[in-house]
Structure 1
Amino acid sequence: MSDASAEVDIAQLSEEQQLALQQFTAVTDQELKDAIPLLQRCQWNVQIAIARFFDGEPAEDPIAAAAAAAPPPRDIRQQETLLNGFASPRSSTSSGRLRRVEAAPRIVPQPESQVATQAPLLLTLLLAPFNLVYSVFSKFFRFTGWLFPPLTRLFNPGRASTTSRRAASGRKALNVRDTAARFAREFEEEYGQNNLPFYENGYAQSFDLAKKDLKFLLVILMSPEHDETASFVRDTLLSQEVVDFIRNPDNNILLWAGNVQDPEAYQVSVALKCTKFPFTGVIVHSPQVSSTSMSIAARIVGPTPANQYLTKLRQAVQAHKEPLDRVRAQRTEQQATRNIRQQQDSAYERSLATDRERARKRKEEAERKAAEEKEALARSEAAERHAHNLAQWRKWRAASIPPEPAADTEPKDVVRISLRMPTADRVVRKFSADAHIEELYAFVECYDVLQSGEDVSNVEEPQGFVHEYGFQLVSPMPREVYDVKSGGTVRDRVGRSGNLIVERTDLESDDEDEEEHVAA
């Protein structure tokens, strides 16, 4: 505890009282030892306290005197730290009271120039005249303040202090990453080459990383305006023992440091209730509160000798190392279980994909065989139907073939044809000279029916059947084909007599069908 807050422990104040104290000191720049009694006398009313600070207090106020005499209210919220939650009963009994968990805030800085509040439209219209008057008077007082600088602090002390602080620092506002890099560069330029592993990013990023990796976040806030900063850095922070302890990977320490002249570090100092510089805070995950909470495990304020500084760091790390190790082990076990489950799911998906591929191939093979069988059945039915229609057509056509000319017919009206059948039999028959060549083809086609002597008088022509002759008549010497499509009479095409050979033309298609059947 610092001397400024020796009379009242700031940690015992409620959140509303701490907020009131911050607002009062930001406006008045008064020391804490004087600000707290004044706020107590004003019952923690910031506006009354500010008015009394500038206007002077009355001689005696019974209500304020009673409020000053009363002890400050205590925060009745009962919490635990990691140290208290996992310490032995003996240590808890010896302490005499339960230690509270002080939640560590996550700060996302926002430049003051970007902070804007939009009032409702109706309220804006109603306050437009007042805003105009306020703008005129503010410009007048700004001009007056420029002519007489002491008046600026009198009428607006908070703004004057803020403006003077900005003017004194002269630092340009950068993004969090560039701000961290600038701090590391200025630190090296001021104190020389060092081995401190500064995290070159924002406080919020380091906060999230420490929570995710279960590390100790070591926050160091420094103010160059304090005379003790240089000695603290050279004698304590840069001592070899402290540097080795911070860099030791077994300690799992993530170091983030900042200059309170930068907006982000200043907001972090306000959020961590920093009352004296240099300031060191150890932030760690507190699993006994919740699975995502972060707490302040230790505070080291003001210049501290290296051995005492290192002792406090070791105590904070040692007190919270065991519960963090348990959480790490639990996370490792959960990750291992998750990996095993993912491997099992992956193996199941691969097996399922293999089974699906096999089923697909079996289905395709079955569909192919069914299509082939269906096609073969269709061809078989078509062949049977064609054979039936062909046999019926032969019987029907045999009934219309005229008989052979009589023996007493004039020789000039008769053509004698010698036919060599596909069965190698030779058939000699006479045809009428003016008979169409198709009569000769029909005789060859229906020869078996004519030879059987079957009664074909009542046979009808098959419906929808288009007959095509599967042979052609050819004379051997010289070779000449007498096709039926060319037409003509027998005498015109063959002459008075002829030796003809019956050549099959449907054998090629039959051979192809047989080859396809063998291949299937």
Structure 2
Amino acid sequence: MESTDIDIGDLTPVQQAALEQYTAVTGQDVEAAIPLLQRAQWNTQIAITRFFDGEPEVDPVQEALSAAAPQDTRRQETLAESLQFSRHRSRIPPAPRIVPPPNPELNYRPGFPFNIILAPFSLASYILTRVFRIFAPLIPFLPTLLARLKSQDSTRVSNRRSLKPRDTAARFIREFEEQYGSNQLPFRELGYAHSLDEAKRDLKYLLVVILSPEHDDNDLYVQETLLAPEVIAFVQNKDSNIILWGGSIQDSEAYQVATAFNVTKFPYAALIASTPNSSSSSSFATSGTGMGIIAPLSGLLPPAEFLSKIRRAMDSHMPEINRLRSEQAERNATRSIREQQDSAYDRSLAKDRERAKQKREEEEKRKQEEESERKAEEQREQAAHKSEGWKMWRAVRIKPEPSTSDQNAVRVSLRLPDGSRAMRKFEGSAEVEEIYAFVECAELLDSAVLSKEIAKPEGYDHQYPFKLVSPMPRTVYDINSQGTIREVIGRSANLIVEPIDVDDEDDDDV
């Protein structure tokens, strides 16, 4: 038995109440109860279950607690670092969740009459676009306007069929491999919204790549930057925790993402992660927001610079990611402990219900047996009462002994079960049942209470608990023997009254 040095006075009121409840149910000593309650985290239901069922080899509660305390990697910040980090936090632009329509339709293309009517406007738009492209370096806002016009124009004249997000991602990957050959870039074959949700749920980084096939730097960007061995190795490394999603500006989903991100220069990439200003609450995992662009990467970048910006953003954001992972681990551990407690409580409750059910069944069985015994006793009493009533009724109707002058009389000597003998004459014309009735009612023949008014019990069939046997040669005179006493026995006979078990006789008859 374990011993403990803990004083009961040192326990909290909650622990004292748990100890009192536990000892009241189990009857265990306090010295042995306290260590068991400590191992059960002072959960009374778990402790009671372990007392009756035994403790498991591996304690799930201790496992959950050990997993609930990950190494605290959160850095200790100074006041200046906190203020600087807060300013950096406020500059992180949000990454909205873009969900295309569930049933995308084909892009609307006007008919031939409308094309003729809209031809002058299309020509004017084309000329203005060319003019803006020439004067774009001189005016700051023209590149943004030109990019929007170009995106709208490419969307308007594109013959690409709109697909669901998953099918759009699969088409982008297929076309990317057809144009640039087989590669090891792990593009996710999911829509942007699903990729964003996965990164938020697993606390990973989402690297979004949006390409514009019509851009002059697109092919060079893909071949020298995206397909660079160091970039591929970095994205494939599991320690980087990066989910890669790509799209073409010609597709509706990628165009919506570029518009939401305010993209003004292609090719474009962005590193997205959980932002501190919206993910600190416990509802982060289910929140619809909480992702921000921590590293926008616009334009043609060498592989080294591309990776340098990504790593720098990840390093600066790592403390927040570690904090969120620690909070997530704590929530998972708390949920695991709660599930273990609920499971132990359910098992204990199920066993209590089973014990109560068995107790009810045993009580019902006992009551049924008592009821059956009571009914059987009542039946025996009723049978005995009817048997006495029948004997009194039959004793009155036994014919008197014939006179000595009756030549047809039959003399019968009876040896009774107690060893005594009885001598009597019977009318020769009477049936054998008359002798049986005489033996059965012999004690009542001289009774003064006999009266002709005694009625035969209704529904009662009397069975004689004996049989008449002639010893030499042995002959059994059955009560149902055909004929009169004179015809069956003769002028005289010595008969033995042999007791029989009525139940055994019935079984033999069956």
Both proteins in one fold, TM over 0.5: yes
8 A Cα contact 1:396 1:456, kept in partner: no
Flag the 1:200–1:96 CA change in 2: closer, same or farther, 3 A: closer
Inter-partner Cα distance in structure 1 for 2:472 and 2:82: 130
Inter-partner Cα distance in structure 2 for 1:96 and 1:328: 20
8 A Cα contact 1:416 1:431, kept in partner: yes
Identify the match of residue 322 of structure 1 among 315, 319, 324: 319
2:450 alignment partner in structure 1: 457
For residue 343 of structure 1, report the CA deviation from its aligned partner.
2.0
Matching of residue 468 in structure 1 with residue 501 in structure 2: no
Matching of residue 268 in structure 1 with residue 265 in structure 2: no
Partner amino acid, structure 1, of 2:463: Y
Q: Deviations over 1:123-142 (max 9, x none)?
A: xxxxxxxxxxxx9xx86453
Identify the match of residue 113 of structure 1 among 105, 108, 115: 105
Q: Percent identity?
A: 44
Structure 1 unaligned blocks of 5 or more: 1-85, 117-134, 513-520
Inter-partner Cα distance in structure 2 for 1:176 and 1:228: 26
Inter-partner Cα distance in structure 1 for 2:95 and 2:125: 36
Q: Deviations over 1:13-38 (max 9, x none)?
A: xxxxxxxxxxxxxxxxxxxxxxxxxx
Q: Deviations over 1:395-422 (max 9, x none)?
A: 4433443432233x13x22111122333
Q: Deviations over 1:338-397 (max 9, x none)?
A: 122212222222222223223322322232222222222322232233223323433443
Partner amino acid, structure 1, of 2:248: N
Inter-partner Cα distance in structure 2 for 1:163 and 1:323: 38
8 A Cα contact 2:247 2:254, kept in partner: yes
| Alpha-carbon RMSD | 3.6
Partner amino acid, structure 2, of 1:142: N
For residue 486 of structure 1, report the CA deviation from its aligned partner.
5.4
For residue 209 of structure 1, report the CA deviation from its aligned partner.
0.8
Flag the 1:93–1:362 CA change in 2: closer, same or farther, 3 A: closer
Write the mapping of 1:276-295 to structure 2, written as runs, cut at 5 A. 276-290=265-279, 291=284, 292=287, 293-295=290-292
Identify the match of residue 224 of structure 1 among 203, 206, 213: 213
Flag the 1:287–1:233 CA change in 2: closer, same or farther, 3 A: same
| Larger of the two Rg values belongs to structure | 1
Write the mapping of 1:383-398 to structure 2, written as runs, cut at 5 A. 383-398=380-395
Q: Which range is displaced more, 237-246 or 96-105? A: 96-105
SS at match of 1:413: coil
Matching of residue 435 in structure 1 with residue 430 in structure 2: yes
Inter-partner Cα distance in structure 2 for 1:271 and 1:200: 21
Give the aligned length.
400
Provide the TM-score with structure 1 as the length reference: 0.67
1:498 alignment partner in structure 2: 493
Matching of residue 142 in structure 1 with residue 136 in structure 2: no
Q: Deviations over 1:137-185 (max 9, x none)?
A: x86453466xxx5564349999x97896369765443332232223223
Q: Deviations over 1:421-455 (max 9, x none)?
A: 333444331112233433222101012334xx442
Flag the 1:509–1:344 CA change in 2: closer, same or farther, 3 A: farther
For residue 500 of structure 1, report the CA deviation from its aligned partner.
3.1
Flag the 1:170–1:139 CA change in 2: closer, same or farther, 3 A: closer
Structure 2 unaligned blocks of 5 or more: 1-75, 130-148
For residue 212 of structure 1, report the CA deviation from its aligned partner.
1.1
For residue 255 of structure 1, report the CA deviation from its aligned partner.
0.8
Flag the 1:192–1:282 CA change in 2: closer, same or farther, 3 A: same
Inter-partner Cα distance in structure 1 for 2:470 and 2:86: 133
SS at match of 2:412: strand
Q: Deviations over 1:36-58 (max 9, x none)?
A: xxxxxxxxxxxxxxxxxxxxxxx
2:54 alignment partner in structure 1: none
SS at match of 2:278: coil
8 A Cα contact 1:282 1:297, kept in partner: yes
